[in-house]
Amino acid sequence: MGVKEFYILPGGFLTLDRSIFLTGTDMGKKVKAPVYSVLFMHDQGPILLDVGLNPAGLKDPEGAWGPRAKVIKPEFTESDDIRNRLKQIGLPVSDIKKVIITHLHWDHSGGLRFFTHCPIILQQAELRFAFYPDRNVCAQYMRNHFDYPLDFQTVEGDRMLVPGISVVKTPGHTPGHQSVIARLDSGSFFIFPGDALPLMENITLGIPAGNNWNNEQAMDSIYRLSHFAEILPGEIISSHDISIWETLKKSPDAYR
Between 3 and 64, name the residue whose CB sits nearer to Zn ion: 64
Cβ(203)–Cβ(226) under 8 Å? yes
Between 42 and 105, name the residue whose CB sits nearer to Zn ion: 105
Between 50 and 195, name the residue whose CB sits nearer to Zn ion: 195
Region of 85-93, 101-109, 112-120, 125-133 interacting with Zn ion (CB under 5 A): 101-109
CA triplet 31, 35, 39: central angle to 5 degrees? 155
CA 172, distance to chain mean position in Å, is 15
User: β-strand 178-183 against 3-17: which pairing, if any?
Assistant: unpaired
Smallest gap from Cβ 103 to Zn ion, in A, equals 6
Smallest gap from Cβ 52 to Zn ion, in A, equals 12
Cβ(196)–Cβ(168) under 8 Å? no
Smallest gap from Cβ 124 to Zn ion, in A, equals 18
Region of 35-43, 103-111, 117-125, 222-230 interacting with Zn ion (CB under 5 A): 103-111
- Our finding on whether 183 is near Zn ion (CB under 5 A) is no
Give, as one character, the DSSP assignment of residue 98: E
Smallest gap from Cβ 140 to Zn ion, in A, equals 6
Q: Sort 253 into a burial class: Cβ within 10 Å, 0-12 / 13-18 / 19+.
A: exposed
Q: Sort 153 into a burial class: Cβ within 10 Å, 0-12 / 13-18 / 19+.
A: middle
Give, as one character, the DSSP assignment of residue 75: B
Between 80 and 195, name the residue whose CB sits nearer to Zn ion: 195
Between 16 and 229, name the residue whose CB sits nearer to Zn ion: 16
Cβ(138)–Cβ(211) under 8 Å? no
Smallest gap from Cβ 203 to Zn ion, in A, equals 17
Region of 43-51, 75-83, 122-130, 191-199 interacting with Zn ion (CB under 5 A): 191-199
- Our finding on whether 50 is near Zn ion (CB under 5 A) is no
Between 176 and 234, name the residue whose CB sits nearer to Zn ion: 176
Q: What is the footprint of Zn ion within residues 194-213 (CB under 5 A)?
A: 195
Q: What is the footprint of Zn ion within residues 67-96 (CB under 5 A)?
A: none
Helix (H, G, I), strand (E, B), or coil: what is residue 106?
Answer: helix
Between 3 and 48, name the residue whose CB sits nearer to Zn ion: 48
Cβ(112)–Cβ(120) under 8 Å? yes
- Our finding on whether 105 is near Zn ion (CB under 5 A) is yes
Please list the residues that pair with 160 across neighbouring strands: 166
Smallest gap from Cβ 114 to Zn ion, in A, equals 20
Cβ(201)–Cβ(158) under 8 Å? no
Quote the CA–CA distance of 18 and 166 in Å, as a whole number. Answer: 30
With contacts defined by CB under 5 A, how many residues of the chain interact with Zn ion?
Answer: 2
Footprint of Zn ion (CB under 5 A): 105, 195
